[in-house]
């Protein structure tokens, strides 16, 4: 998933994050007297998405990620060659010319860069 397209405008996670954001917006009650506390939890990819959502919306009262995937690709690739990180290592070996581009897009669109997520609001 992390390697689907290297264009920051069509990158897979950009769309995924916007879908998750819309789910949170839909979960909010339109009635102000109803408590709008929304909690999200997830394991692996969904844990990482929860972290990203904490940077995109103020409507979460709790975020409980468990082993969030996508939080530090460069570190994870250095630590293990197991899937799903093996796919990133393989991509970098085959497409050495695109490694820098991948890391730039990763930096912009992953939840470790929540400052960018704040700018999208």
* Cα–Cα separations (whole angstroms), residue 110 to 21, 31, 64, 105: 14, 33, 17, 8
Q: Per residue in 12-44, pLDDT tens?
A: 777 888 899 999 988 887 777 677 788 999 998
- Residues written for the chain: 121
The pTM (predicted TM-score) of the whole model is 0.70
Integer Cα distance of 117 and 51 in angstroms: 10
Residue 72: the pLDDT is 73
Residues of the chain where predicted confidence (pLDDT) is lower than 70:
1-8, 33, 70, 107-121
Residue 114: the pLDDT is 57
Q: What average pLDDT is seen over the chain?
A: 77
């Amino acid at each position: 998933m992390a390697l689907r397209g290297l264009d920051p405008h069509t990158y897979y996670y950009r769309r995924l994050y916007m879908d998750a954001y819309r789910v949170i917006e839909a979960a909010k009650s339109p009635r102000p007297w109803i408590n709008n506390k929304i909690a999200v939890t997830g394991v692996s990819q969904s844990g990482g998405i929860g972290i990203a959502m904490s940077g995109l919306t103020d409507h979460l009262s709790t975020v409980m990620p468990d082993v969030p995937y996508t939080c530090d690709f460069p570190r994870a690739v250095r630590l293990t060659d197991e899937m799903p990180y093996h796919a990133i290592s393989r991509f970098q070996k085959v497409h050495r010319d695109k490694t820098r581009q991948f890391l730039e897009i990763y930096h912009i669109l992953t939840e470790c860069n929540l400052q960018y997520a704040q700018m999208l609001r």
